[in-house]
Amino acid sequence: MSVTRGAGPLSRRDFLSVSMTAAGALMASFNAPGVAHTAPSRAAAAARPVGGQPLGAFVRIETDGRVVIGARGCEIGQGVKTSLPMLIAEELDVPWSAVTVEQLPYGLLAGHDPPGFTSRYGPQGAGGSTNIPDAWNDLRQAGARVRWLLVQAAAQIWQQPADQLRTRDAQVLHPDGRTLSYGQLARRAATLAAAPADVPLKPRSGYRIIGHPTRVIDAREIVTGAAAYGIDAALPGALTAVIARCPYFDGAVAHIDDAQARRVPGVRQVFSIPGPRAGAVLDRNLAAGVAVVADDFWSARQGREALRITWTVGPGAQDSSDALERRAAAALATRGKIARQDGDLEAARKAGDRVVQAVYVMPLLAHATLEPPNALIDLRAQRALLVASLQSPGGASRMISAMTGIPRPDIEIRLLRVGGGFGRGLQNDFVAEAVLVAQSVKAPVKVIWTREDDLQNDFYRPFGLHELTATLDAQRRVTGWAHRVAATPRKYRAEGMEEESDWIGCADLPVEFSLARGWLRGPLPTFSAFAVQSFLDEVALAAGADPLALRLELLGAPRQLPYRDHGGPKLHTERLAGVLRRAAQEVGYGGKVPPGHGIGLASHFTHGGYVAHAFEVAVSAAGELEVVRCVCAADVGEVVNPLGLEAQMMGATIDGLSTALNLQITLKDGRVEQSNFPDYPLLRMAAAPDVDVHLLDSQVPPSGAGEMGMPTVAPALVNAIFAASGKRIRRLPLGAQLKGPTAAS
Amino acid sequence: MAIDFTLNEQRSSYRGDPAMPLLWYLRDHARLTGTKFGCGIGYCGACTVHLDGAAARSCLTPMSRVAGRAVTTIEGLARGAQLHPLQQAWIDEDVPQCGYCQAGQIMAAADLLARKPQPSEADLATLTNLCRCGTYPRIRKAIRRAAAQLQGARR
């Protein structure tokens, strides 16, 4: 692999400092046994030759002409380490094969007038599928501005007006055929005044990188084991900590017997760490616990096994999932708060011929990133260095500063590849733990979670009941629609939250529950689409209508509808109809299927993207389910990387299927019942179908893609199950419902 | 008592808790971090290595069981700069998303191809490694591509 991991920000001084920080990304890249993969010392890093010429915050031209592009995003598997540099390279007009990509650290610029901070590289978090739409606005411009500088430099050398010069393949072209390479121009370009704010961008017809299939930039490092993730990070003298956390939410440590633990070879320190105060805002770590700090993971883990801890149970010690569902059902029986009301449902009900009503159940879910949460932190010398798998490095920076008093510019955060995000990393509770442990240890500390820690200490996808009601008139037309939700709000004890506004478009019935909740891939769309898209099929059945025809009829003529949540402000009905028609066409909707088979559809608008799924399934007499075909149609605007976009849709489809079939978190006697993958069984190879992905050609600016493929999977699946078997599934996960008595339609 | 073994064709020796899983020897002592921790109970397969050429879940393999044996990790799968056909196929089919499980996937697939040079669908379905990102369809394509290439090379 390349050993050049510096980055090219604004100034020479900045460049040197970032080279040093980014050099840490190398620390896990040595393959020979016995070679310590420690980070280079600052002196050694500073002595490293710096030959390249930085141009702007993202581009460095090496003396050999290689173009180095900085990747600012958190690479959680959504492909931003590839796709964001593609946007820069396109407008810079360099061939992708000449590009080397380097991960940038978290970048903060301290401002003095006005006081505060700005982002050196722009948005760096990974949440809400916003990386591509953000970068579409600023990173294409970043590339174009560097290209502009290089053209100006050539214009000076040739004494030729810049508007007579063109670029191609990292070269500036003179009308007479002469060329100057970007490498030859870089130093002069760096001396020029900055480019104007709005340099013209390429027309779509000129794209040579955007829209072209591009492989994962780190693929070779990944398949050789050289790619570094947060959990692989190392610092000289770092210790490893494993924490025994209170299994009762808001509980505490009553008594510790650590005599055995301290005798475990390699264990250095054992001490308790505080949890959040009961009822207080959850902005740091999630649970009180006992930290075991040791020379390596195994010693720390053995030390934890040897602890004898008595816990104080919290106020939720008697709580359970069953009680939660009873509370939610009771809440549904009340009027609740009406979040939005258009028209008069009661009038429609009285005038109508028929009322259709159903209740759908969504379970709590865990994120279960394959890389368990971890954080390596060094708090010595009034500074902080954090290396961790993050989705919100800005949040980590603010949290560390709040906990330690270290000014944010003195907090350095290195970003490595992240072994899965799914929203888990939007919380930095594991970083808070690392801070708490490091404050008691005179060395850098890496906190590592086990799988059991992870499944039992998550910010879970909320639980909820959806009650949907539709009224039909004598002609079986839909005249009224109501959607009421009784749920644990997605935010819980968060700073400045407004729980009541957290579920939209429905009567809002927040239900008390004592487990932390958070965002999980396509949070509200996934939560809602199952109910809405399942119910559409139930309404179609009652109306004697075809489910696809009813959907298209309700979408109506092409128009824009207001959409006030993320992805708005408008929803284009024809784009939703477009993905529906495409999925239906590809699956062969309306054609004959064998006995016991059925086809189901669903579509949804998610964070600005439009996706439909179509499943053909077979259900045997014994209740065995087989996914025969699985089609996904996506319109997420202009496609940046078709290979990456297909991967996101394929992966989200399998994630959605895994979740719909088997996954839930349950609580009993105040404790999470699941502890490891056998009772949180993600789909394996044998059950994972091929996914037939179709990307619609679109010329509108792109939305993101990471979350859009998730919401429609479960409803398309259960609609297909109904078509195949006549059994309507209203509770997720599917589990054994096709085999049991609860499967009555 | 020293435990002697070979690690990626180099002689190695370990003195320490013989109950420590090979996974943690690799990650914390040998600093070979390509082998990943996922579940610690042998379920997810992120820690898959080869013991005397056969796939093994290193999180459940105590160091005592490694004595006298040959350990190959993802870092030792290529022949120098020459990637194993599966590694190349993984790149060609653009398999990885987050990539965290992929070392284990490749080591498990290499073991499968050694036993079943032309794996059937049913053979592929015996692979139990978890991929949280859902790359299974491309994993299947990559294994078939590598199998075809290996078959061509044998002819």
Please name which of A534, A518, A483, A473 lies closest in space to residue A719, comparing C-alpha atoms: A534
Please give the Cα distance from B106 to B96 (Å, whole number): 11
Please give the Cα distance from B109 to A473 (Å, whole number): 58
Nearest-CB residue to A223 (from B73, B91, B97) = B91
The amino acid sitting at A227 is: A
Whether the pLDDT of residue A574 is over 60: the answer is yes
- Give A26's pLDDT tier (boundaries 50, 70, 90): very low
pLDDT at A197: 86
Using the 8-state DSSP alphabet, how is residue A688 labeled? P
Asked if A442 contacts A380 with a C-beta cutoff of 8 angstroms, the reply is yes
For A309, how many CA atoms within 13 A lie in the half-sphere containing its CB? 27
Please name which of B29, B117, B45, B34 lies closest in space to residue B78, comparing C-alpha atoms: B34
Asked if the C-beta of A262 comes within 8 angstroms of chain B's C-beta atoms, the answer is no
Give the rounded percent of residues in chain A with a pLDDT score beyond 70.
Answer: 89
Asked if the C-beta of A230 comes within 8 angstroms of chain B's C-beta atoms, the answer is no
Please name which of A18, A694, A67, A671 lies closest in space to residue A314, comparing C-alpha atoms: A671
Please give the Cα distance from A359 to A730 (Å, whole number): 7
- Distances B134 to A54, A562, A685, A743, B131 between C-alpha atoms, Å: 38, 33, 9, 28, 5
pLDDT at A48: 38
Across the A/B interface, how many CB contacts are shorter than 8 Å? 209
Residues of A in contact with B36 (CB under 8 A): 229, 231, 370-371, 419
pLDDT at A490: 67
CB contact under 8 A, B103 and A222: yes
Whether the pLDDT of residue B118 is over 90: the answer is yes
Residues of B in contact with A31 (CB under 8 A): 32, 34, 75
Token reading at A613: 């799924």
| Lowest-confidence segment of A14-18, A216-220, A397-401, A719-723 by average pLDDT | A14-18
Please give the Cα distance from A437 to A300 (Å, whole number): 13
Which residue shows structure tokens 């007499």? A621
Q: Tell me the backbone φ, ψ of residue A89, rounded to 5 degrees.
A: -60, -40
- The residue of chain A with its CA nearest to that of B39 is A451
The amino acid sitting at A687 is: A
User: What counts of helices (H) and strands (E) characterise chain B?
Assistant: 5, 5
- Give A496's pLDDT tier (boundaries 50, 70, 90): low
Whether the pLDDT of residue A9 is over 60: the answer is no
CB atoms near residue A701 (< 10 Å): 12
pLDDT at A230: 97
Please give the Cα distance from A441 to A289 (Å, whole number): 16
| Lowest-confidence segment of A108-117, A546-555, A572-581 by average pLDDT | A108-117
Please give the Cα distance from A275 to A245 (Å, whole number): 9
Whether the pLDDT of residue A537 is over 70: the answer is yes
Nearest-CB residue to B20 (from A78, A227, A298) = A298
**Residue ranges of domains in chain A, CATH in brackets:** 12-217 (3.30.365.10), 230-315+367-456 (3.30.365.10), 522-745 (3.30.365.10)
pLDDT at A317: 87
Asked if A315 contacts A486 with a C-beta cutoff of 8 angstroms, the reply is no
Angle between helices A523-543 and A713-725 (to 10 degrees): 30
Whether the pLDDT of residue A40 is over 60: the answer is no
Token reading at A38: 């420690």
Residue B70's H or E segment, with its range, is: strand B70-72
Please give the Cα distance from A359 to A314 (Å, whole number): 32
CA A120 to chain CA centroid, Å, is 22
Whether omega for the bond prior to residue A85 falls within 30 degrees of 0, making it cis, is: no
Whether the pLDDT of residue A25 is over 70: the answer is no
CB contact under 8 A, A685 and B125: yes
- Give A314's pLDDT tier (boundaries 50, 70, 90): confident
Asked if A634 contacts A609 with a C-beta cutoff of 8 angstroms, the reply is yes
Asked if the C-beta of A324 comes within 8 angstroms of chain B's C-beta atoms, the answer is no
CB contact under 8 A, B75 and A31: yes
Residue range A467-490, pLDDT digits in tens: 999 999 999 999 999 999 888 876
Q: Looking at residues A184-190, what average pLDDT do you find?
A: 95
pLDDT at A49: 38
CB contact under 8 A, B75 and A419: no
- Architecture of the B3-76 domain: Roll (3.10)
B 75-134: CB under 8 A from A: 75, 77-78, 83, 86-87, 90-91, 94-103, 106, 124-134
Cα torsion B110, B115, B120, B125: sign: negative
pLDDT at A38: 35
Q: Looking at residues A521-530, what average pLDDT do you find?
A: 93
Whether the pLDDT of residue A370 is over 60: the answer is yes
- Give A51's pLDDT tier (boundaries 50, 70, 90): low
Please give the Cα distance from A170 to A157 (Å, whole number): 17
pLDDT at A514: 77
Whether the pLDDT of residue A58 is over 60: the answer is yes
CA–CA min distance B123, chain A (Å):
9
Nearest-CB residue to A225 (from B17, B75, B137) = B75
pLDDT at A342: 86
CB contact under 8 A, A685 and B136: yes
Residue A112's H or E segment, with its range, is: strand A108-112
**ipTM tops 0.95:** yes
Per CATH, is B85-154 categorized as 3.90.1150.10? no
Query: Residue B52: left (phi > 0), alpha (psi -120 to 50), or beta?
Result: left
Whether omega for the bond prior to residue A733 falls within 30 degrees of 0, making it cis, is: yes
pLDDT at A315: 86
- Give A503's pLDDT tier (boundaries 50, 70, 90): very low
| Lowest-confidence segment of A36-50, A571-585, B40-54 by average pLDDT | A36-50
pLDDT at A491: 66
Token reading at A319: 């709580």
**Residue length of chain A:** 745
Token reading at A420: 């899965």
Q: Looking at residues A645-649, what average pLDDT do you find?
A: 98
Q: Tell me the backbone φ, ψ of residue A366, rounded to 5 degrees.
A: -105, 160
pLDDT at A593: 96
Q: What is the CA radius of gyration of chain A?
A: 28
Query: Residue A476: left (phi > 0), alpha (psi -120 to 50), or beta?
Result: left
pLDDT at A510: 74
pLDDT at A741: 58
Residues of B in contact with A630 (CB under 8 A): none
Nearest-CB residue to B130 (from A79, A216, A677) = A677
pLDDT at A23: 28
Residues of A in contact with B97 (CB under 8 A): 77-79, 216, 647-648, 651
Residue range A318-369, pLDDT digits in tens: 999 999 999 999 999 988 878 778 888 899 999 988 999 999 999 999 999 9
Reduced to 3 states, what is the DSSP secondary structure of residue A355?
strand
In chain B, ranges of CATH 1.10.150.120 domains: 85-154
DSSP, residue by residue, A550-609: HHHHHH-SS-EEE--STT-SEEEHHHHHHHHHHHHHHHTTTS---TTEEEEEEEEEETTE
Instruction: Give the angle subtended at the CA of A683 by the CAs of A679 and A687, to the nearest 5°.
Output: 125
- Give A544's pLDDT tier (boundaries 50, 70, 90): very high
Asked if the C-beta of B52 comes within 8 angstroms of chain A's C-beta atoms, the answer is no
Whether the pLDDT of residue A713 is over 60: the answer is yes
Reduced to 3 states, what is the DSSP secondary structure of residue A34?
coil
Instruction: Give the angle subtended at the CA of A487 by the CAs of A483 and A493, to the nearest 5°.
Output: 135
Asked if A674 contacts B39 with a C-beta cutoff of 8 angstroms, the reply is no
Please name which of A743, A628, A639 lies closest in space to residue A697, comparing C-alpha atoms: A639
DSSP, residue by residue, A401-466: HHHH---GGGEEEEE-B-S--TTGGG--HHHHHHHHHHTTSSS-EEEE--HHHHHHS--BBPPEEE
- Give A498's pLDDT tier (boundaries 50, 70, 90): low
Token reading at A301: 């883990």
Using the 8-state DSSP alphabet, how is residue A489 labeled? -
Mean pLDDT, chain A, integer = 89
Nearest-CB residue to A370 (from B21, B34, B100) = B100
Residues of A in contact with B125 (CB under 8 A): 685-686
Token reading at A440: 């008691």
Please give the Cα distance from A141 to A191 (Å, whole number): 20
- pTM for the complete prediction? 0.93
Nearest-CB residue to A686 (from B94, B125, B139) = B125
CA A633 to chain CA centroid, Å, is 20
Please give the Cα distance from A615 to A629 (Å, whole number): 6
pLDDT at A43: 37
In chain B, ranges of CATH 3.10.20.30 domains: 3-76
Instruction: Give the angle subtended at the CA of A34 by the CAs of B54 and B82, to the nearest 5°.
Output: 55
pLDDT at A541: 98
Give the rounded percent of residues in chain A with a pLDDT score beyond 90.
Answer: 79
Whether the pLDDT of residue B67 is over 60: the answer is yes
Nearest-CB residue to A420 (from B41, B43, B132) = B132
Q: Tell me the backbone φ, ψ of residue A568, rounded to 5 degrees.
A: -75, -165
Residue range A225-282, pLDDT digits in tens: 999 999 999 999 999 999 999 999 989 999 999 999 999 999 999 999 999 987 788 8
Please name which of A567, A491, A483 lies closest in space to residue A525, comparing C-alpha atoms: A567
DSSP, residue by residue, A138-169: HHHHHHHHHHHHHHHHHHHHHT--GGG-EEET
pLDDT at A513: 79
Token reading at A256: 């510790």
Residue A468's H or E segment, with its range, is: strand A464-472
Residue A378's H or E segment, with its range, is: strand A374-378
Residue range B96-111, pLDDT digits in tens: 999 999 999 999 999 9
Could you tell me which residues come within 8 angstroms of residue A541 by beta carbon, excluding any fewer than 6 positions away?
none
The amino acid sitting at A384 is: A
Which of B12, B97, B112, B139 to substitute to test the interface with A, most A CBs within 10 Å?
B97
Asked if the C-beta of A662 comes within 8 angstroms of chain B's C-beta atoms, the answer is no
Which has more pLDDT, A551 or A381? A551
- The residue of chain B with its CA nearest to that of A654 is B134
